[in-house]
Structure 1
Amino acid sequence: MEKGKSVANGITPSLKNLQLNPRLKAVSSSPLSHSFPLPLKKSKPRSLVSLCLGFLGQHLEDIITDISELAAGFPPDIKLAMVAIARRRKLLNDDFLIVLAEHSWELLDISGSDITDFGLATVAKICTNLQAVDVSRCDKITAAGISELTCHCWSLEILRCGGSPRSDFTARRCLSLLKPKLNDVEEESWEELDRMDICSGAQSLRWLVWPKIDEDSKMSLATECPRIIVNPVPSPIGFHGLQVPAEASASVALDYSMVEDIDPKTWAISGAARRSIDLPSRDELPMAERFRLAFLERDARLAPKRAKNARQHRRRAEREYLMSSTNAKSIALASQASKFLHNRS
């Protein structure tokens, strides 16, 4: 997998070299370090690219219908960052994803979105270089969509699934699709197999993140396809002798690197619409609070219409007054005559 950088630098991140460990503060070994506190390191200012993405993300509802024209000249990593923002804003659907899809993408996070089998299949045909995909909590994706993904993306190494009852059901239905089916071969181990020996299935799949996998499915994978490691736990010494990639960790969003330099307010901008994936769902709020937020949202939406109606009513009242009052008519005619005489002079 090619080495990359963060979105802030304008280059697609690498799956192998993504660093997720928090930065540790350096402590001096000098005796003075125990007597005087070290100065705090100033946070790095956000890049211009990140600020622009944040602005676009806050107004995504206004530009989503014209996204195909606006994003036509954007680099692939910027398009992927917009997909990450749309997912957090609960605006990611088939049309949005298909318009932005790029052949060079290596990761795709559509978890918790409204993407369907059609959207996933279309993107799989475009983004054939995908190596890590997250379809967890995608209740509109079935085994048909996963089949298209494994059929066109032969480099797929990491797959995240499950997370909801419907998605767990789909994952169980996809077990036969994930297990590679072999031609007539004489090798004694999976490591000795060549890609040409595998006729179908997820040929390169190595890591499966499925938090609530049932014991039968886990045992079936361990017996029939031991090369696929389920729910690996990253550690400094590796997992079963293997270094687990950061993208195979369920504790961090797959597209985290695409938005780590963007202000989180981008996807949590208004009280009623604050639906960040890191915050509780609106459905978990008390009923009275939900009604209050709904009223505020409706009141803000109808405020421009009320102001327009008030202006129309005022102008209508002024016209009716001029038509019904003799005194008002004489004042209006005198004003017009005064303007005429002033212009003549």
Structure 2
Amino acid sequence: MALVAIARRRMLLDDDVIVSLADHTWKILDLSASDVSDFGLAKVAEICTSLGAVDISRCDKITTSGVSELVEHCLSLETLRCGEGPRSDHTARRCLDIFKPKLNDVEGDSWEELNTEEIANGAQSLRWLVWPKIDKNSLEGFSSECPRIIVNPNPSPFGFRGTQVPREALPDIQLDDSIVKDLDPKTWAVRGFTLKAMPPSLSSHTELSVAEKFRLAFVERDTRLAPKRAKNARQHQRRAEREWVMTDTTAKAVALASRASRSVHSWN
């Protein structure tokens, strides 16, 4: 899990990485802002069936197909973090049909009163949905269609509706922070740049600011090293010319003639 957390921070997390590292003992999974797609999420869901909290926010390659696989295989999933980007928000909106229960011709005014076996599908264990920029219509849809799912819970000392909000459902934390808390941040330094911690108040803008910081860090380093690269290139060229002159008889003659010509011109 530490390797996954580091790969995510270094922007190297994709299907190949996550599938190769997946372990059946995992309880949480943070894929936020990664290149993991539906394929990778589905494969991990098949392996890590005990996942209780998953973060797929800012994952542009994950659609409702991947979320459906996650819900199908991970029957202990209680917390899902999503949205925070145009494509991710679109996926989250379409997930309402996946999360709400599918009833098999049962009678009753409320599915909340039904037994579990009467519900054919739906995210039965899902309790907390963290979607910071949820739109009004989606919020109303979840409230009416999925009353068991609490959207963007606000922590309080008295709990939420009599239930203590788990750490994984708090919007101002990264799901895998606890995994890397004892690791040196230099471990995930990218091109000599170490990401500084962002204040909680700016957490909603992490997507753009992190990407921009990495880009600016690369540009700054590239600009700073440009003169050194040019100097090395000139030295390499001169060294290559010397080696060529020393190994080629014709080149030696040309070099000596050039020197003699310059000497004659200097005396004139």
Q: CA deviation at 1:268?
A: 2.7
Corresponding pairs, count: 245
Aligned counterpart in structure 2 of residue 317 of structure 1, from 228, 235, 245: 245
Instruction: State the secondary structure of the residue aligned to 1:208.
Output: strand
Q: CA deviation at 1:129?
A: 1.2
Instruction: State the secondary structure of the residue aligned to 1:254.
Output: coil
Distance 1:303 1:256, change over 3 A: farther
Give the AA of the match of 1:204.
S
2:259 aligns to what?
A: none
CA distance in structure 2 between the aligned counterparts of 1:100 and 1:285, rounded to whole angstroms: 25
Could you tell me whether the CA contact under 8 Å between 1:88 and 1:276 is conserved in 2? no
2:6 maps to 1:85: yes
Structure 2 unaligned segments of length 5 or more: list them.
Answer: 199-205, 254-268
Distance 1:139 1:285, change over 3 A: closer
Instruction: State the secondary structure of the residue aligned to 1:266.
Output: helix
Q: CA deviation at 1:213?
A: 0.9
Give the AA of the match of 2:245.
A
Distance 1:88 1:184, change over 3 A: same
Give the AA of the match of 1:244.
V
1:200 aligns to what?
A: 121
Distance 1:175 1:312, change over 3 A: same
Q: CA deviation at 1:151?
A: 1.4
Instruction: State the secondary structure of the residue aligned to 1:168.
Output: helix
Q: CA deviation at 1:245?
A: 0.5
Q: CA deviation at 1:89?
A: 0.6
Aligned counterpart in structure 1 of residue 69 of structure 2, from 134, 143, 148: 148
Q: CA deviation at 1:114?
A: 0.8
Could you tell me whether the CA contact under 8 Å between 1:161 and 1:210 is conserved in 2? yes
Instruction: State the secondary structure of the residue aligned to 2:51.
Output: coil
Give the TM-score normalised by the residue count of structure 2: 0.78
Q: Does 310-319 or 107-116 show the bigger shift?
A: 310-319
2:140 maps to 1:211: no
Aligned counterpart in structure 2 of residue 160 of structure 1, from 81, 97, 117: 81
Matches within 5 A, 1:127-142: 127-142=48-63
Instruction: State the secondary structure of the residue aligned to 1:119.
Output: helix
Aligned counterpart in structure 2 of residue 118 of structure 1, from 39, 42, 56: 39
Distance 1:270 1:171, change over 3 A: same
CA distance in structure 2 between the aligned counterparts of 1:231 and 1:146, rounded to whole angstroms: 19
Q: CA deviation at 1:322?
A: 10
Instruction: State the secondary structure of the residue aligned to 1:236.
Output: coil
Distance 1:283 1:190, change over 3 A: same
CA distance in structure 1 between the aligned counterparts of 2:230 and 2:64, rounded to whole angstroms: 43
Give the AA of the match of 1:283.
E
Distance 1:193 1:295, change over 3 A: same
Could you tell me whether the CA contact under 8 Å between 1:207 and 1:248 is conserved in 2? yes
Q: Deviations over 1:277-323 (max 9, x none)?
A: 74834537999x87544434677889988776665444333324798
Matches within 5 A, 1:250-261: 250-261=171-182
CA distance in structure 1 between the aligned counterparts of 2:227 and 2:76, rounded to whole angstroms: 50
2:212 aligns to what?
A: 283
Q: Deviations over 1:87-106 (max 9, x none)?
A: 01111011011100111111
1:226 aligns to what?
A: 147
Could you tell me whether the CA contact under 8 Å between 2:25 and 2:50 is conserved in 1? yes
1:102 aligns to what?
A: 23
Distance 1:92 1:237, change over 3 A: same
Distance 1:276 1:137, change over 3 A: farther
CA distance in structure 2 between the aligned counterparts of 1:149 and 1:109, rounded to whole angstroms: 13
